[in-house]
């Protein structure tokens, strides 16, 4: 949403300045009129991206920042003072710039959630939604603590996954180098040896394809006329694909494909459901109405397919249905979880049961993820062995055939 800076005057004659995020200049005029301000100047701000803002902020640093802000607020330190303390103590240039911008916007009257929404690509949709709801519901400190836990857990999961995948990735790289070296440098030496079999039409198709592949890198008559076209097509396709994947339709397609991946799809779904249950349970426990809680929890799920199903459930709840019925109609929630939610609604313990479901799902998902990552090692070994075996068979079988002919 565009940003507009304004200079206005109060009824008492005092001049005030500030900034607003609005869809148009007319919307800014309406907001100022509702605040009894007489606009003198309204100017659309141009987006600025300082050099420091290009650096990536580690997730661990974000988790520490959330936790420290929650501790400061619990200790009675005002929000503006807390943001100023965090801005001054951080050594990360990009985070300092962002905290300074958030401080200025909060000072101009924006809520913490609205100020952070400008940097949603940094904090994440879930964090912004949770903090905004915490500010509206009066549990900002707990919301910040919960977001800190989410961020730390997500960073721990990412580190564990990367650490577990280091060996399979290294194995796959070494395997690709070995197979590529065999195909490019070893296989071409057999072409003259198999020439007689090719003339008689007795050369196996696998061997013929392997010889063609080994000669392809050295065929300048192919790469010179077609190389620029192929390179341009790859660049154009990559740029278009990157833009499409970052569009709303592309993100929806990507999240849908995530749920269909064998083994990994179930892990993605479980993590999204666990996050949804934890956010919804936390907000209900703090007295936020269920419709507002569902809206924030759907944005926090981390999967747009699941978020759409939750939003449809919100519409059905407005019509008087229980939560378990529309969630069951989506087809994404396991029957056991739906049964627990249905019983919890009848016994009026929904917030407690949702948090229990989140804990159980997270523990089970961590075990599934560890098992899936461990299975990658033997799978990579089998793929590498299969590729080497294919090259050996393609080379040895014609040689055996020639020896039998002699």
For residue 30, the enclosing domain spans 3-44
Question: For the whole model, what pTM was predicted?
Answer: 0.65
Residue 81 predicted with pLDDT over 90: yes
22 occurs within a structural domain = yes
Q: Based on the structure, what is the number of domains in the chain? A: 1
Measured in whole angstroms, the distance separating CA 323 from the mean position of its chain's CA atoms is 27
362 occurs within a structural domain = no
Q: What is the mean pLDDT of residues 315-330?
A: 78
159 occurs within a structural domain = no
Which pLDDT value is given to residue 224? 58
The whole-angstrom separation of Cα 269 and Cα 256 is 10
- Distances from the Cα of 228 to the Cα of 217, 233, 237, 378, angstroms: 15, 8, 14, 39
Q: What is the mean pLDDT of residues 264-282?
A: 84
- Distances from the Cα of 177 to the Cα of 172, 211, 217, 380, 389, angstroms: 9, 18, 15, 14, 15
Q: What is the mean pLDDT of residues 311-328?
A: 78
**Residues 357 and 272: beta-carbon distance below 8 Å:** no
176 occurs within a structural domain = no
Which pLDDT value is given to residue 83? 92
Which pLDDT value is given to residue 227? 63
374 occurs within a structural domain = no
- Distances from the Cα of 396 to the Cα of 103, 187, 288, angstroms: 71, 11, 72
- Distances from the Cα of 297 to the Cα of 131, 272, 287, 313, angstroms: 12, 10, 14, 12
Q: What is the mean pLDDT of residues 372-378?
A: 77
- Distances from the Cα of 333 to the Cα of 111, 169, 357, angstroms: 34, 33, 12
65 occurs within a structural domain = no
12 occurs within a structural domain = yes
Residue 369 predicted with pLDDT over 80: no
Which pLDDT value is given to residue 52? 41
241 occurs within a structural domain = no
Among candidate residues 33, 31, 34, 41, the one with its CA nearest the CA of residue 8:
41
């Amino acid at each position: 949403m565009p940003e507009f800076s304004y200079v206005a005057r109060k009824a008492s004659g005092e001049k005030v300045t500030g900034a607003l995020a609005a869809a148009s200049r007319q919307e800014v005029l309406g907001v100022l009129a509702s605040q009894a301000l007489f606009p003198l100047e309204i100017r659309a701000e141009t987006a600025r991206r300082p050099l420091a803002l290009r650096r990536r902020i580690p997730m661990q640093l974000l988790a520490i920042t959330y936790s420290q802000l929650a501790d400061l607020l619990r200790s009675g330190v005002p929000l503006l003072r807390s943001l100023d303390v965090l801005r001054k103590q951080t050594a990360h240039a990009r985070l300092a710039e962002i905290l300074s911008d958030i401080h200025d916007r909060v000072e101009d009257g924006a809520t913490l959630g609205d100020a952070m929404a400008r940097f949603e690509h940094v904090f994440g949709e879930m964090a912004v939604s949770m903090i905004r709801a915490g500010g509206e519901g009066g549990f900002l400190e707990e919301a910040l603590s919960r977001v800190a836990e989410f961020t730390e857990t997500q960073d721990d999961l990412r580190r564990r996954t990367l650490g577990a995948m280091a060996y399979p990735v290294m194995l796959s790289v070494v395997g690709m180098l070995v197979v590529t070296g065999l195909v490019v440098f070893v296989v071409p030496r057999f072409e003259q040896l198999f020439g007689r079999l090719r003339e008689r039409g007795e050369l196996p198709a696998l061997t013929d394809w392997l010889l063609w592949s080994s000669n392809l890198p050295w065929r300048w008559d192919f790469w010179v006329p077609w190389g620029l076209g192929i390179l341009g097509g790859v660049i154009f396709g990559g740029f278009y694909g990157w833009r499409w994947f970052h569009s709303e339709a592309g993100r929806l397609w990507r999240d849908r494909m995530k749920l269909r991946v064998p083994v990994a799809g179930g892990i993605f779904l479980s993590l999204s459901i666990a996050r949804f249950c934890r956010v919804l349970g936390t907000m209900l426990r703090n007295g936020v109405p269920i419709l507002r809680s569902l809206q924030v929890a759907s944005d926090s799920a981390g999967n747009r397919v699941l978020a759409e199903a939750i939003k449809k459930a919100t519409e059905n709840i407005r019509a008087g249905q229980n939560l378990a019925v529309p969630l069951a109609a989506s087809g994404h929630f396991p029957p056991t979880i739906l049964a627990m939610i249905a019983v919890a609604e009848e016994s009026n313990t929904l917030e407690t049961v949702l948090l229990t479901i989140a804990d159980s799902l997270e523990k089970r998902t961590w075990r599934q993820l560890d098992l899936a990552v461990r299975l990658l090692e033997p799978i990579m070994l089998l793929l590498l062995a299969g590729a080497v075996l294919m090259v050996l068979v393609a080379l040895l079988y014609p040689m055996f055939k020639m020896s039998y002919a002699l």
